A and B are shown apart, each in its own frame.
Chain A
Amino acid sequence: MIDHDVLIIGAGLAGLRAALCAKEQGVDVAVVTKVHPVRSHSNAAQGGINAALTDRGDDWRDHAYDTIKGSDFLGDQDAIEVMCREAGDEVISMENMGAIFNRDENGNLGTRNFGGQREARTFFVADFTGQALLHVLYEQIVKAGAFVYEEWFVLSLIVRDGKCGGVVMMDIKTGKIEVVRAKAVILATGGLGRVFEPSTNALICTGDGMSLAYRAGAELMDMEMVQYHPTTLKGSGVLLSEAARGEGAYLLNSENERFMLKYAPEFKELASRDVVSRCEQTEIDEGRGIDGCVLLDVRHLGEKYINERLSQIRELGIDFANVDMVKEPVPVMPGMHYAMGGVKADIDGKTAVPGLYAAGEVACISVHGGNRLGANSLLDTLVFGRRSGIHAAEMVKSVKHLSIDDSAAQDDIKQINQLLSNEKNESFGKVRLDMGTGMKKHLGVYRDQSSMEKALELVKDIKERAKSIYVADKTKTFNTNLMFSIELGFMTECAEAIAASAIQRQESRGAHTRTDKPDRDDENWLKHILVTKAEESHDISFLDVIITDWEPVIRQY
Chain B
Amino acid sequence: MEVIFKVQRFDPESTDLVSHFQEYNVQLTDSSTVLDGLIKIREEDDGTLSLRCSCRAAICGSCAMRINGEAGLACNTKIIDVMPQDGSPIVIEPAGNLPVIKDLIVDFQPFWAKFKAVEPWLQPGDIQPEGEYIAPEEDMVHLAGVVSCILCGACVSDCTVLEVDDSFLGPAALAKAYRFSRDPRDESDDQRLAQLNEPGGVWDCTRCMKCVEVCPKGVDPMDRIMLLREKVMDAGHNNTSGARHANAFAKFLKNSGWLDELKLPVMSFGIFNIKAMIGLIPLGIKSQLAGKRPPIFHHKLSSAKEIKKIFEKVESKK
- Interface residues of A, Cβ cutoff 8 Å to B: 35-36, 38-41, 43-44, 53, 55, 92, 95-98, 100-110, 125-126, 128, 131-132, 135-136, 139-140, 142-143, 173, 202-204, 235-236, 238-239, 308, 312, 315-316, 319-320, 322, 427-430, 433, 470-473, 475-481
Contacts and interface: CB of A to CB of B under 8 A. Distances in A.
B50 A427 contact: no
A102 B141 contact: yes
Interface in B8-64: 11-13, 31, 33, 42-44, 46-48, 50-62
A95 B133 contact: yes
B262 interface: no
Classify the interface of chain B: helix, strand, loop or mixed.
Answer: loop
Contact of B13 (A140, A427, A471, A476): A476
Nearest to B143: A100
A103 B120 CA distance: 23
A39 B153 CA distance: 12
A36 B57 contact: no
A96 B143 contact: no
B91 to A, nearest CB: 21
A460 B131 CA distance: 53
A98 B132 contact: no
A41 B43 contact: no
B310 interface: no
B102 to A, nearest CB: 5
B80 to A, nearest CB: 10
B137 A103 contact: yes
Given A135-B147, A139-B122, A471-B47, A236 B137 contact: no
A142 B116 contact: yes
B38 to A, nearest CB: 11
A92 B121 CA distance: 16
A100 B132 contact: no
A428 B43 contact: yes
Given A104-B137, A142-B120, A473-B47, A238 B57 contact: yes
B54 A204 contact: yes
B57 A477 contact: no
A108 B59 CA distance: 27
Contact of A126 (B53, B61, B121, B144): B144
B277 interface: no
Contacts of A101: 132, 140
Interface string B184-208: 0100000000000000000000000
B92 interface: no
A127 to B, nearest CB: 10
Given A41-B60, A322-B31, A142 B121 contact: yes
A105 to B, nearest CB: 7
B243 interface: no
A400 to B, nearest CB: 34
A38 B148 CA distance: 12
A143 B119 CA distance: 8
A470 B54 CA distance: 22
A101 B116 CA distance: 23
A429 B44 contact: yes
19 contacts: A36-B108, A38-B61, A38-B151, A102-B137, A103-B135, A106-B134, A125-B144, A128-B148, A135-B147, A173-B101, A202-B55, A236-B56, A320-B31, A322-B31, A472-B47, A476-B13, A477-B12, A478-B50, A478-B102
A4 B101 CA distance: 29
B57 A316 contact: yes
Contact of A110 (B42, B105, B137, B144): B137
Contact of B43 (A128, A202, A430): A430
Contacts of A103: 135-137, 140
B133 A473 contact: no
B4 interface: no
A330 B43 CA distance: 30
Centre residue among A39, A55, A173, A202 by max chain B CB count within 10 A: A39
B303 interface: no
Given A97-B122, A428-B43, A478-B105, A39 B141 contact: no
A203 B47 contact: no
Contacts of B12: 477
A430 B44 CA distance: 8
Q: Would you list the 8 A-B pairs with minimal beta carbon distance, nearest first?
A: A429-B43, A98-B122, A472-B47, A107-B134, A139-B121, A103-B137, A481-B47, A473-B48
Interface string B132-172: 11111100110110011011000000000000000000000
Contacts of A102: 137, 140-141, 144
B129 interface: yes
B43 A427 contact: yes
Contact of B150 (A43, A235, A308): A43
Interface in B104-128: 105, 108, 112, 116, 119-122, 124, 128
Given A139-B122, A427-B43, A478-B105, 18 more contacts: A38-B151, A40-B60, A43-B59, A95-B132, A104-B137, A125-B144, A135-B147, A143-B121, A202-B55, A202-B56, A238-B57, A308-B141, A312-B59, A470-B47, A477-B102, A478-B101, A480-B50, A481-B50
B43 to A, nearest CB: 3
